[in-house]
Amino acid sequence: MLQKYGALKRARAQLLDAGSTDSDAQDPFDVRFETILGPAEAVLAGRKVLLFGTNNYLGLTFDAGCIEQAVAAVRGDGTGTTGSRIANGTYGSHARLERKLAQFLGRRDVMLFTTGYQANVGILPALAGADDYLLLDADSHASIYDGAKLSDASVTRFRHNDPDDLYRRLRFLADRPGDKLIVVEGIYSMLGDMAPLRELVAVKRETGAFLLVDEAHSLGVLGAHGRGLAEATGTEGDVDFVVGTFSKSLGGIGGFCASDLPDFDMLRLASRAYMFTASLPPAVIAGVTQALETLERRPELCADLARNAAHLYEGLAAAGFALGPTISPIISIRLNDTGLAAAFWNRLLQVGIYVNLALPPATPERQSLLRTSVSAAHTPAQIDQAIGAMTSIGLELGVLQDPSERYFSAAQ
C-alpha cells in the first residue's frame, strides 16, 4: 500500500543528511517544541529559541483577555459542540462572532468554517458549479487548489500576479455561459508578495467576473483597520467574497467567508465542508471574538507589526540576501539549493532562531526558502539578533559574500 511513497522517503532521508551531520540535527518537518513560552519564544531540545517562523502576526496567542474569555467559555459552554451547526445546532457564540466579524468587515453576511483550509474547500465548490469557471492564481494555497478540485466547475490557473494573463483567459471564455470566479490571495504565504488588486479589479469589471480574495495572511495585517489587502488598496467594493482564517493574526483556529451577495445564507445548505464537520468549540470562538475586539481597540498592533516587518526586511536586504519583492510580515530568504537551505535552517536552530524551511514543490519557481515571519510581539533586540544570526551563517555557508569582497568584486 505505501510503496508509492518510496521516492518521498528517499528524498526526506537525503534532506536530513544534507541538513546536518551533527547528532543534534532536527527534522525540519517534525519540529517538537517542549514548551511555548510566549508568542516569540519556545523551548526546543532543551534550549530557548526565538520564534521567527509562526503566523502569529499580532502576537495574540498569549493575550490575557483572549485567554480569560476562552477559559470562561470552556467553563460555561463546555469543551466541544460535538457536531455541525446544521445537524446539531448553533451556539449563541457562533452567531455573535458571525455578526461581529460582519460588522468589522462591513459585510452583510459571514459564514464560519472550522479551519481556513475548510473555508476554501467548502466555499469554492459551493460557489462554482458545473457550468462555471474558476480562475486561480498559479501560486494559490493548497486549500484553494483542493477546493477547486472538489468543484464541478472548469478550473484554470493564470500566471501569478499577472492581470494580463487573467484578462486573456477571461476574454477566451467570454462567450461561454456560466459565472467566472477569480481567486487570489492578499499576501502570498511563501514570499510575502501581494496581489495587484487594483489591476485585477479592473479586469474583473471589464469581464463581468466575480472576485474572491483569501485574506488569510493579510487580515489584521494590512489596511488602516486591519481588514486586509482590499482595505489597503481601496477595492473592498469590488471584492465579492472575502475568505480568511482565525489561525494567524487572531491566534486561534477557524475560517470564514464574508459577502454582501443576497442569498449568501443559502451556502450554509450547500457547502459540504460547512455541513458535514463539527463547528468550532466554545473556547476557540470566545478567544477569536476577543482577539477581534483587541484588534479593533489596539490599532497600534498593526503599526508595531509593520515597523517590525520593515526592520527585518531592511536588515536582511542590507546584508545582501535575495528576498521577496515587498516588505511584509512574511520575509523569505531565497536559496536555490535544497541541501544548503536545510543546512542553513539547522544552523539557525543551533543558535536559537527558529524559521520555516519551505521546499519545492510547495514554493514558487521551485526555490528553497528560509521563510521567516515577524510578529508585533518581537522586540527590536530580538529582530537584531535574528538579522545577526542569519548574516553570520549566510557568510559561513557562502550564501553571502564578505562585505569587503563584495565591494572588491563590484569595483572590478
Residues binding ligand PLP (CB under 6 A): 115-117, 120, 141, 143, 185, 189, 214, 216-217, 245, 247, 255
Count CB atoms within 10 A of the CB of residue 202: 15
Report the nearest approach of ligand PLP to the CB of residue 51 (Å).
Answer: 17
Listed in sequence order, the residues at least 6 apart from 250 whose beta carbon sits closer than 8 Å to its beta carbon are: 58, 60, 219, 220, 288, 291, 292, 295
| Active site annotation includes 48 | no
Stretch that binds another protein, among 173-181, 220-228, 264-272, 375-383 (CB under 8 A): 173-181
371 binds, among ligand PLP, another protein, none (CB under 5 to 8 A by kind): none
> Considering the rule CB under 8 A, would residue 154 count as an interface residue with another protein?
yes
Q: Which of 33, 172, 276, 407 lies at the binding interface for another protein (CB under 8 A)?
A: 172
Q: Greatest CA span in the chain, whole angstroms?
A: 73
> Considering the rule CB under 8 A, would residue 157 count as an interface residue with another protein?
yes
Q: Smaller CB distance to ligand PLP: residue 136 or 393?
A: 136
Report the nearest approach of another protein to the CB of residue 363 (Å).
Answer: 10
> Considering the rule CB under 8 A, would residue 156 count as an interface residue with another protein?
yes
Place of cell 465542508: 273
Q: Are 114 and 255 in contact (CB under 8 A)?
A: yes
Q: Are 335 and 372 in contact (CB under 8 A)?
A: no
Residue 43 C-alpha cell reads as 523551548
- DSSP 8-state code for residue 60: G
Does a cis peptide bond (omega within 30 degrees of 0) precede residue 361? yes
290 binds, among another protein, ligand PLP, none (CB under 5 to 8 A by kind): none
Burial per residue of 122-133, b for 16 or more beta-carbon CB atoms within 10 angstroms, e otherwise: bbbbbbbeeebb
Beta strands in 91-141 (DSSP E): 109-113, 133-137
The catalytically annotated residue of 217, 279, 311, 368 is 217
Cα(175)–Cα(208) distance, integer angstroms: 12
Q: Smaller CB distance to another protein: residue 104 or 158?
A: 158
What does R_g of the chain's alpha carbons equal in angstroms? 22
Cα(27)–Cα(45) distance, integer angstroms: 12
| Active site annotation includes 20 | no
129 binds, among ligand PLP, another protein, none (CB under 5 to 8 A by kind): none
Report the nearest approach of ligand PLP to the CB of residue 320 (Å).
Answer: 28
Cα(86)–Cα(152) distance, integer angstroms: 23
The catalytically annotated residue of 94, 248, 311, 378 is 248
185 binds, among ligand PLP, another protein, none (CB under 5 to 8 A by kind): ligand PLP
Report the nearest approach of ligand PLP to the CB of residue 375 (Å).
Answer: 16
Residue 292 C-alpha cell reads as 477581534
Which residue's Cβ has the minimum distance to ligand PLP? 116
| Active site annotation includes 248 | yes
Q: Which of 2, 32, 35, 175 lies at the binding interface for another protein (CB under 8 A)?
A: 175
- Scan residues 121-150 and list those touching another protein (CB under 8 A): 131, 138, 148-149
Place of cell 489591476: 199
214 binds, among another protein, ligand PLP, none (CB under 5 to 8 A by kind): ligand PLP
Q: Smaller CB distance to ligand PLP: residue 109 or 214?
A: 214
Q: Smaller CB distance to another protein: residue 131 or 265?
A: 131
Q: Could you give the dihedral angle defined by the CA atoms of residues 383, 385, 388 and 393, in that order, rounded to the nearest 10 degrees? A: -110
Q: Give the pairing of strands 41-44 and 33-38.
A: antiparallel
Catalytically active residues are 189, 217, 248
Sites of contact with another protein (CB under 8 A) = 131, 138, 148-149, 154-159, 165, 168-169, 172-173, 175-178, 360-361, 366
